[in-house]
C-alpha cells in the first residue's frame, strides 16, 4: 500500500494538543505536510514560550507517521513562525517579513530563543551576549549564538573563529548550514558565509532576510537556548527581525549613562510593540577599578540603570564592570567566561539571573 495524505492527517488528528481542546490538526498546528521519496515531513506551528510542552507531541507525531504504510522515515519540525494575517488574499503587516523555506527547519529543535539587544551602539552588547552564551553553556545547557549584526559582525573575533567558513550539507531537498562550534557553543555569523573581510552593503529588507535565513537554514540541532546578538538600533530592520525570529524574550544592555538609558527605553518600547517580553536590563561598564591604586570610578554615572529598570517595571539583572581583562579576552578570541576568574563569576551570576527570568516568563505565559 502506498502513502496516503488522508491517512497521515487522520493519524495526526489522534494526537491531543497540549494547549487547546482537541487535537493538533483541529488546533491549526499543522503548517505543512510533505512526502518525498519515502520520507514524510510535518511542520507544526507552536508558541515559543510553550516549546517544552510540544516535545512529547513531536515524538508522538513522528511515531504515528512512521507507522503508516509506504513511509520509511518521518521528520516532525516544531516551528515558532506564524504566517501573517491575510487581507484580500494579500499579506498585511510587515511588508518585508521573511518567509520560511519549505522543508527542514534548522531551528526545529531549539527550545528557547533569547534576544540580546541595545538601542544604542557602543554599550558592549556583543561582549555581554558572547559571555552569557559561554556562561550558560558552562552551567550545563546546550547553547547556540547567532551574530545578527550583518554590517559589523564581532562574534568571530571574540570566539577565535576569524577566517573560518561554514559548510553546507544536503538534508532532504534543501541544503543546511553547519554551525561552527567554539568554546562549547554553536555559533553562526555572516562572516562565516562571506569569503573575505569586505563590508556587507545591504539595505534593511536584505539584512532581515539574511538573519532569518541564518536561523532557519542552520542546523542548530537540539538547543536549550539560542542567543541572538541583535544589531543595535530600533529601526525597521530591528522590528522586522523581532517579527521574523519572534524570540521568547529580550534582554536590554545599557551603560549607566543617561544618553544610553534614553535609547534603552526605546528598545523596551520596541519589543512591547511586537509583543516580545523584556526579561530585564543588564548594566554594562558599571564601574572601573584602577589596576594601579585600586580605587573605583563610575565613569558613566551610577544608579541610573537600576532606577530606569524600576520605572519601566522590568527586572534589573545585574551589572558587569569596565574591566581590561574582559576586553583583552575578547580580542584574543577567548571570552572571559571561559576562564576561572573573578570576572567569569560576574557573567556566571548574570547568566543565572537571565535563565531564571526566562523560565519564569515561560511559566507565566
Residues 280-291: pLDDT tens digits? 999 988 877 777
* Structure confidence at residue 3 (pLDDT): 86
> What's the whole-number average pLDDT of the chain?
82
- The answer to whether residue 85 is domain-embedded is no
Q: Are residues 70 and 120 in the same domain?
A: no
* Structure confidence at residue 230 (pLDDT): 87
* Structure confidence at residue 29 (pLDDT): 87
Domain-terminating residue out of 79, 99, 131: 79
Apex 110 CA angle, 103 and 101, nearest 5? 20
CB-CB contact of 364 with 279 (8 Å): no
Domain-terminating residue out of 79, 105, 127: 79
Q: How far apart are CA 249 and CA 231, in angstroms?
A: 16
* Structure confidence at residue 266 (pLDDT): 77
Of all residues in the chain, what percent are helix, strand and coil, respectively (each to 5)?
A: 35, 20, 40
Q: How far apart are CA 123 and CA 144, in angstroms?
A: 22
Q: Are residues 200 and 345 in the same domain?
A: yes
Confidence category of residue 220, pLDDT binned at 50, 70, 90? very high
Specify the range with the lowest mean pLDDT, choosing from 208-212, 275-279, 348-352.
Answer: 208-212
* Structure confidence at residue 334 (pLDDT): 95
Q: Are residues 203 and 128 in the same domain?
A: yes
pLDDT above 70 coverage of the chain, percent: 82
Enumerate the H helices of 96-194 as residue ranges.
125-138, 155-158
Q: Are residues 120 and 25 in the same domain?
A: no
Q: Are residues 342 and 258 in the same domain?
A: yes
Q: Are residues 32 and 161 in the same domain?
A: no
Q: How far apart are CA 213 and CA 234, in angstroms?
A: 21
Give the pLDDT mean for 112-130.
Answer: 87
Specify the range with the lowest mean pLDDT, choosing from 141-145, 178-182, 208-212.
Answer: 208-212
Residue range of the domain that includes 26 = 5-79
Q: Are residues 161 and 303 in the same domain?
A: yes
* Structure confidence at residue 86 (pLDDT): 35
Contacts of 254 (CB under 8 A, 6+ apart): 118, 120, 123, 260, 261, 263, 264, 281, 282, 283, 284, 305, 308
Which backbone phi and psi does 310 adopt, to 5 degrees?
Answer: -65, -40
CB-CB contact of 42 with 33 (8 Å): yes
* Structure confidence at residue 138 (pLDDT): 97
Strand order in the sheet with 30-36: 30-36, 39-45, 73-79
Question: What own/partner pairs with CB < 8 Å and gap ≥ 24 does 160-164 have?
Answer: 160/332, 160/333, 160/334, 161/187, 161/189, 161/192, 161/333, 162/191, 162/333, 164/192
- The answer to whether residue 222 is domain-embedded is yes
Domain-terminating residue out of 79, 102, 133: 79
User: Terminus-to-terminus CA distance in the chain, angstroms?
Assistant: 44
Q: Are residues 180 and 329 in the same domain?
A: yes
Residue 223 has pLDDT above 50, yes or no: yes
Q: Are residues 302 and 204 in the same domain?
A: yes
Contacts of 297 (CB under 8 A, 6+ apart): 287, 288, 289, 290
Sign of CA dihedral 132, 127, 79, 17: positive
Confidence category of residue 193, pLDDT binned at 50, 70, 90? confident
Q: Are residues 247 and 335 in the same domain?
A: yes
Number of H helices and E strands in the chain, helices first, is 10, 17
Sign of CA dihedral 46, 48, 54, 59: positive
Give the pLDDT mean for 52-67.
Answer: 90
Residues 1-55: pLDDT tens digits? 688 888 899 999 999 999 988 899 888 888 888 888 788 888 888 886 777 788 8
Residues 292-313: pLDDT tens digits? 777 777 777 677 678 888 888 8
Confidence category of residue 132, pLDDT binned at 50, 70, 90? very high
Confidence category of residue 329, pLDDT binned at 50, 70, 90? very high
Q: How many domains does the chain have?
A: 2
Give the pLDDT mean for 55-71.
Answer: 92
Contacts of 118 (CB under 8 A, 6+ apart): 125, 230, 232, 252, 253, 254, 260, 263, 264, 267
Residues 66-104: pLDDT tens digits? 999 999 989 888 876 444 333 333 333 444 455 677 778
Residue 182: which CATH number?
3.40.50.300
Specify the range with the lowest mean pLDDT, choosing from 37-46, 95-104, 202-211, 349-358.
Answer: 202-211
Residue 190 has pLDDT above 60, yes or no: yes
Cα separations in angstroms, 285 against 79, 197, 305, 352: 37, 29, 11, 19
Give the pLDDT mean for 186-192.
Answer: 92
Rg (CA), the chain: 22
Give the residue carrying C-alpha cell 526545529: 108
Amino acid at each position: 500500500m502506498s502513502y496516503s495524505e488522508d491517512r497521515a492527517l487522520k493519524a495526526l488528528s489522534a494526537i491531543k494538543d497540549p494547549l487547546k481542546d482537541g487535537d493538533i490538526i483541529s488546533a491549526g498546528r499543522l503548517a505543512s505536510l510533505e512526502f518525498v521519496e519515502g520520507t514524510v515531513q510535518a511542520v507544526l506551528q507552536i508558541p515559543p514560550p510553550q516549546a517544552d510542552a510540544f516535545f512529547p507531541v513531536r515524538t508522538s507525531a513522528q511515531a504515528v507517521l512512521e507507522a503508516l504504510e509506504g513511509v520509511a522515515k518521518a521528520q516532525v519540525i516544531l516551528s515558532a513562525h506564524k504566517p501573517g494575517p491575510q487581507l484580500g488574499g494579500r499579506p498585511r503587516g510587515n511588508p518585508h517579513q521573511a518567509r520560511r523555506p519549505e522543508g527542514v527547519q534548522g531551528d526545529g529543535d531549539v527550545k528557547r530563543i533569547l534576544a540580546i539587544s541595545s538601542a544604542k551602539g557602543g554599550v558592549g552588547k556583543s561582549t555581554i551576549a558572547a559571555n552569557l552564551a559561554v556562561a550558560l553553556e558552562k552551567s550545563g545547557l546546550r547553547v547556540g549564538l547567532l551574530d545578527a549584526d550583518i554590517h559589523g559582525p564581532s562574534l568571530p573575533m571574540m570566539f577565535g573563529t576569524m577566517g573560518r567558513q561554514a559548510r553546507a550539507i544536503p538534508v532532504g531537498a534543501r541544503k543546511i548550514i553547519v554551525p561552527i562550534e567554539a568554546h562549547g557553543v554553536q555559533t553562526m555569523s555572516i562572516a562565516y558565509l562571506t569569503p573575505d573581510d569586505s563590508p556587507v552593503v545591504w539595505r534593511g529588507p536584505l539584512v532581515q532576510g539574511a538573519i532569518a535565513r541564518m536561523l532557519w537554514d542552520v542546523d542548530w540541532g537540539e538547543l536549550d537556548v539560542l542567543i541572538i546578538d541583535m544589531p543595535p538600533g530600533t529601526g525597521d530592520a530591528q522590528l522586522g527581525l523581532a517579527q521574523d525570529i519572534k524570540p521568547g524574550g529580550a534582554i536590554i544592555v545599557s551603560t549607566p549613562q543617561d544618553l544610553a538609558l534614553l535609547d534603552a527605553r526605546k528598545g523596551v518600547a520596541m519589543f512591547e510593540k511586537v509583543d516580545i517580553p523584556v526579561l530585564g536590563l543588564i548594566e554594562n561598564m558599571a564601574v572601573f577599578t584602577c589596576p594601579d591604586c585600586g580605587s573605583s570610578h563610575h565613569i558613566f554615572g551610577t544608579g541610573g540603570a537600576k532606577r530606569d529598570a524600576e520605572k519601566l517595571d522590568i527586572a534589573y539583572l545585574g551589572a558587569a564592570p569596565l574591566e581590561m581583562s574582559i576586553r583583552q579576552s575578547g580580542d584574543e578570541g577567548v571570552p572571559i567566561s571561559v576562564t576561572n576568574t573573578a570576572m567569569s563569576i560576574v557573567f556566571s551570576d548574570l547568566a543565572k539571573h537571565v535563565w531564571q527570568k526566562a523560565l519564569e516568563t515561560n511559566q507565566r505565559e
